Amino acid sequence: MKTRKAMRYLAAGALLAGALQGAQAATIDVVKQRGVVACGTTTGFAGFSAPDAKGEWRGLDVDLCRAVAAAVFGDASRIKVVPLNSQQRFTALQSGEIDVLTRNTTVTQQRDTALGIIHAGINFYDGQGFLVPKSLGVTSARQLDGASICLQTGTSNENTLADWARANQVKYKPVVIETFDAVVNAFASGRCDVFSTDASGLASIRISKLQKPDDYVVLPEIISKEPLGPFVRQGDDAWLNVVRWSLSAMIEAEEYGITSANVDQQLKSQNPNVQRILGVTPGAGKNMGLDDKWAYNIVKQVGNYGESFERNVGQGSPLKIQRGLNRQWQDGGLMYALPIR
Ligand SMILES: N[C@@H](CCC(=O)N[C@@H](CS)C(=O)NCC(=O)O)C(=O)O
């Protein structure tokens, strides 16, 4: 009798788990019904996610959010930006406040396994570095012994710095502050000697937040791997696919020379890969519950990965970050799109 009761509980538990998983897996349906994709971004980090003079959110990460909207709705403008500081971002994803975290977030084993979330690709290969005022007279990170170092709460940068300092026998005083503006102000006003975060972040802070960028220098040492990418909730495979393949479509479009300017001509391309990407040969979109023009819409409205990179963080932007590791694989970089076929 007892066994039967236990079996019934087990079966009910399994059903509930299935139902919960079903509910989670339906983000694509929730998004379609709501009519906008809710993306978690920074509170304003130029080049990656920040409002422009007109209040429009721009950046490499915002473009990824817009790409997902273009794939789902055929309209890149159907996004809702939810600004989050480093500490708030994972809770916002776990709770369902956002559908996807598109916010300079480093993929680590711990984040991918212990938080109920999972990454959906890499849109920027980065590494942690140091920004110092030239007046500090330091040319290498090894000279930072005794320095006070500003960091933002809830970043991977805190632990990475601690590991590096231990390994290199550098003693430092961490100055850890919760909001971005407050930590930047602390650095600008000399409350700490050094700012440490992803090199892209340092480039952004130097150009967009400091009054005299030329008074500061980024030290040559890069002390970690910081692969940045979008995250979704675990157990939400259909949605994971939409985000992962939207990013991949941007990268693969660049590989095949498909740009926002030539995408309409490319519809006539005889290359079977181009035909599949652009939905001339149908199937790829339908398999994801999307229109077969999903990738066409991404490239037409947002551009390919290279266009987005140059416009937001590269040569067409004040940041002027080199492509470096973020070049295409044929050019010696790490950007290697999974094939759309
Ligand atoms: N990639 C690192 C750091 C990401 C991060 O949150 N960086 C800070 C400092 S540049 C930031 O973007 N702050 C912007 C904000 O909180 O609005 C991580 O994933 O932990």
pLDDT by residue for the chain (341 residues), tens only, comes to 444 544 444 444 444 444 444 444 489 999 999 999 999 999 999 999 999 999 999 999 999 999 999 999 999 999 999 999 999 999 999 999 999 999 999 999 999 999 999 999 999 999 999 999 999 999 999 999 999 999 999 999 999 999 999 999 999 999 999 999 999 999 999 999 999 999 999 999 999 999 999 999 999 999 999 999 999 999 999 999 999 999 999 999 999 999 999 999 999 999 999 999 999 999 999 999 999 999 999 999 999 999 999 999 999 999 999 999 999 999 999 999 999 99
Q: Which amino acid is at 331?
A: D
Q: Whose CA is nearest to atom 6 of ligand 1?
A: 86
CA 181 – CA 178 distance, rounded (Å): 9
**291 lies in a domain?**
no
Count up the domains in the chain and report the number. 1
| Structural domain includes residue 56 | no
Q: Do the Cβ atoms of 103 and 201 come closer than 8 Å?
A: no
Does 89 map to a domain?
A: no
108, 197, 231, 321: residue to mutate for ligand 1 pocket, most atoms within 8 A of CB: 197
Residues lining ligand 1, Cβ inside 6 A: 42-43, 45, 85-86, 104-106, 152, 155-157, 180, 197-198, 201, 226, 228
Residue type, 209: K
Q: Which atom number of ligand 1 is nearest to the Cα of residue 84?
A: 17
- The DSSP secondary-structure symbol of 101 reads E
CA 329, 334, 335, 341 torsion-angle sign: positive
Residue 169 lies in a domain: yes
CATH number of residue 144's parent domain? 3.40.190.10
CA distance readout (Å), 22 to 18, 96, 127, 197: 6, 14, 37, 38
Q: Looking at the whole model, is its pTM more than 0.85? A: yes
- Residue 200: domain span: 126-226
Q: Which residues contact 189 (CB under 8 A, 6 or more apart)?
A: none
**Residues 31-90: pLDDT tens digits?**
999 999 999 999 999 999 999 999 999 999 999 999 999 999 999 999 999 999 999 999
Going by their DSSP bridges, the two strands 226-228 and 148-152 should be labelled as unpaired
What are the angstrom distances between the C-alpha of 261 and each of 10, 247, 258, 300, 307? 57, 19, 8, 7, 10
Residue nearest to atom 20 of ligand 1 (CA): 155
Q: 109 by DSSP, 3-state: which?
A: helix
SS3 162: helix
Classify residue 296: in a domain, yes or no: no
Mutate to test the pocket of ligand 1, among 104, 111, 194 (most ligand atoms within 8 A of CB): 104
Cα(7) to centroid of ligand 1, in Å?
A: 47
Residue 197 lies in a domain: yes
Q: Tokens 């979109």, residue?
A: 285
Is position 266 within any domain?
A: no
Q: How far is the CA of 86 from the centre of ligand 1 (A)?
A: 5
Could you give the CA distance from residue 65 to residue 299 in angstroms, rounded to a whole number? 13
- Tell me whether residue 265 is in a domain: no
